[in-house]
Amino acid sequence: MTSSSQDRNLPASERKLQKARSEGQVARSTDLTHLAVLGAGAAAVMTLSPLLFERLKLGLSQQLSFDATTVLHPDTMLTRLQDMVLAGLMGSVVFAAIIIAAIILSAVTAGGWVASLKPVMPDLSRLSPLKGISGLFSKKKLAEVVKMTVVSLILIVIAATFLKSSIGTIASLILQPSSAALRHLMDWLSTGMGLLLLVILVVAMIDLPLQSFLHKSQLKMSLQEVKDEHKESDGNPQMKGKMRAKQREMAQRGSIRAVPKADFVVMNPTHYAVAIQYDEATMGAPRVISKGADLLAMKIRDIAKAHDIPVLQSPPLARALYANAELDENIPATLYAAVAQVLAYVYRLKAAMRGEGPMPDEVPAPFVPPELDPLAKQTVTAS
């Protein structure tokens, strides 16, 4: 017996619905198709029958007229027959085209347009007797049986009532002229067809949402299926981690072009380099515009020196900025004070180089909270 986690009691995900749709599995209402066929067929018959009857009457009058020419040239009878057959074929083609268009329109209305060849591809599993027998007792089949039983009973009651109320009128048509009798007969048939279409319309309006509900119920998922789908869509966590690291490395390499815009570069002599930019007019806080490790750090240092950008040695601050600040984002608020000390030193240094003041004292050693310094955290963990 399967566990509760394997019960299919969770609604189908959008991905599973789309996959089923791509395989041609959508909600279809047969009652809507019946309504479309009967309605379009009735409309086509009532619209085309006068024209067809006139054409038939004209053809019969021509076929049944004989003269000396016809007797001398009997091959003209074949030509007349061909004309009659052509007229009948044209009427049949137009009627079939109307019915096909109605079927396609009803299918698109129920489940939308689906372009898939899978439903018509050979599938040997459909020939399995066990699978066929199990399908007879499914929820969908049970709903179909109940629906057809109810619809049949309703149609029998309506048909019996209609026949009982109009049987006297139909019997009296024998006493009327042929033209009047045919007109009354057509009206009687039109009324009966209208009642039939009305019942099927009501059934189709109920069946359309019912088929959608049954289709989604059939595609319900178990908890394990949901987990597997999430895992498949999200990808392997290790692969995602490697991809993020690769993307981060590419972004850092691309950020080298921004180094000339920096106000200063802070370094851990051989491992990390972080370029900081600050503009009081446009920035609310200093921002990291480039950072790198190892060879990339050396590259940032060389570019900074080539553009006369101060390069300061502050290992704790460099490690903290590299680990906790993202590219093109403001530095963490907990590092404002440390970076402010370095900025003040850089401003005084640039002013002295322009001859606007004395050279500043030695490079400051700003305080960096231990929880932001990866090396300090490792030391505490080891101790």
Domains of the chain: 11-119+128-225 (no CATH), 253-382 (3.40.1690.10)
295, amino acid identity = L
Whole-model pTM: value is: 0.39
Three-state DSSP state, 224: helix
Residue 237 pLDDT more than 70?
Answer: no
Residue 376 pLDDT more than 60?
Answer: yes
Q: What is the pLDDT of residue 4?
A: 42
Residue 315 pLDDT more than 70?
Answer: yes
The token pair that represents 273 in the structure block: 């380099």
Query: How far apart, in whole angstroms, are the C-alpha atoms of residue 273 and residue 337?
Result: 19
Q: How confident is the model at residue 273 (pLDDT cuts 50, 70, 90)?
A: very high
Q: What is the pLDDT of residue 5?
A: 41
Cβ(332)–Cβ(324) below 8 Å: yes
Query: Does an H or E element contain 62, and which?
Result: helix 30-63
Query: How far apart, in whole angstroms, are the C-alpha atoms of residue 240 and residue 307?
Result: 37
Query: How far apart, in whole angstroms, are the C-alpha atoms of residue 63 and residue 208?
Result: 50
Cβ(333)–Cβ(286) below 8 Å: no
Q: What is the pLDDT of residue 3?
A: 41
Tokens 């322009």 found at: 354
Longest dimension (CA), the chain: 134
Query: How far apart, in whole angstroms, are the C-alpha atoms of residue 60 and residue 84?
Result: 9
